[in-house]
Amino acid sequence: MDPFSSLIRTASHEQHVEAETSTFMTDLLGGRLGVEAYARYTEQLWFVYEALESTAGGLAADPVAGPFVRPELFRLPELERDLTRLRGADWRAGLSALPATRAYADRVRECAERWPGGYVAHHYTRYLGDLSGGQIIRDRAERAWGFPRKGDGVRFYVFERIPNPAAFKRDYRALLDGIAADELERQRIVAECRAAFALNTGVFRELGEEFELSA
Ligand code: HEM
């Protein structure tokens, strides 16, 4: 039988391609959108990570989700520094979640409160992605909008406390393989991972509508 880390990866592969090639992401990474679109996207991430990280403490002792809760992954302080650069010191005043973002954050919170396995699905979908493709986004953002390399504006993509992301990802996959969940629960987690990708695509869709390029 395939290890769980392979299973979850394969199961979300198609949706990964869909997210990567969404109109908003392609336009953003293709340099066709302004820094305003990047700022709006960063604001949406704030809501998602607020849901993931404000609930993490309560899961630290959980046998299923606990092993995944690693403070070196936390992104909220970095997002807040980025938003200060992007929006100014009073960034909180103008912060607003798109409906798709609200739905995404609500689902994360619901899993954190009621279903640790579901929380793991959301944790995997965000943090393993940030440790991978996130580096591509950082590079483009630095070039397009002139942020200091790995500095304010792109700190979200910089894991200062994870010097070797490849090794970290290997350990993370080993944690997934050993997750305290039976076969049925593993299937449910995979399904939630697909749902997590769909929630991300939903946010991209709404961002795409807000930042439509004129033909
Ligand atoms: C333009 C946007 C994106 C790019 C360029 C990108 C690129 C990548 C790359 C290069 C990898 C590394 C694969 C490997 O380790 O061999 C990866 C992995 C991953 N990405 Fe993305 N990605 C993007 C968007 C997303 C989004 C929106 C999500 C979900 C929120 C996501 C979730 C993941 C996950 C979970 C993995 C880890 C797969 C695994 O090894 O288990 N990515 N991505």
> Tens digit of pLDDT for each residue in 171-202?
999 999 999 999 999 999 999 999 999 999 99
Residue from 32, 130, 132 whose mutation best tests the ligand 1 pocket (most atoms within 8 A of CB): 132
Task: Give the pLDDT score at 137.
Answer: 93
Question: Band of the pLDDT at 1, cuts 50, 70, 90?
Answer: confident
Does 173 belong to an annotated binding site? yes
d(CA 108, CA 119): 6
CA of 93 relative to ligand 1 center, distance in Å: 31
167, 90 Cβ separation under 8 angstroms: no
Fill in the DSSP letter of residue 158. -
Task: Give the pLDDT score at 215.
Answer: 58
66, 123 Cβ separation under 8 angstroms: no
CA of 84 relative to ligand 1 center, distance in Å: 26
Question: Band of the pLDDT at 209, cuts 50, 70, 90?
Answer: very high
Index of the ligand 1 atom closest to the CA of residue 204: 27
d(CA 127, CA 172): 10
Give pLDDT tens digits for 48-106.
999 999 999 999 999 999 999 999 999 999 999 999 999 999 999 999 999 999 999 99
Q: Give, using CA atoms, the residue closest to atom 22 of ligand 1.
A: 133
Task: Give the pLDDT score at 135.
Answer: 87
CA of 133 relative to ligand 1 center, distance in Å: 5
Predicted TM-score of the model (pTM)? 0.96
Give pLDDT tens digits for 101-144.
999 999 999 999 999 999 999 999 999 999 998 889 999 999 99
Q: Give, using CA atoms, the residue closest to atom 31 of ligand 1.
A: 129
Index of the ligand 1 atom closest to the CA of residue 124: 35
d(CA 141, CA 74): 21
Does 124 belong to an annotated binding site? yes
Give pLDDT tens digits for 14-61.
999 999 999 999 999 999 999 999 999 999 999 999 999 999 999 999
**H helical segments located in the chain:** 4-11, 13-20, 23-29, 35-54, 56-59, 76-87, 91-94, 99-114, 116-123, 129-130, 134-145, 165-177, 183-210
Task: Give the pLDDT score at 158.
Answer: 97
Answer whether 185 contacts ligand 1 (Cβ < 6 A): no
Average pLDDT over residues 163-175: 97
Answer whether 22 contacts ligand 1 (Cβ < 6 A): no
CATH superfamily of 4-210: Heme oxygenase-like (1.20.910.10)
Q: Give, using CA atoms, the residue closest to atom 13 of ligand 1.
A: 132
Answer whether 10 contacts ligand 1 (Cβ < 6 A): no
Task: Give the pLDDT score at 151.
Answer: 97
Task: Give the pLDDT score at 133.
Answer: 86
86, 143 Cβ separation under 8 angstroms: no
d(CA 209, CA 215): 13
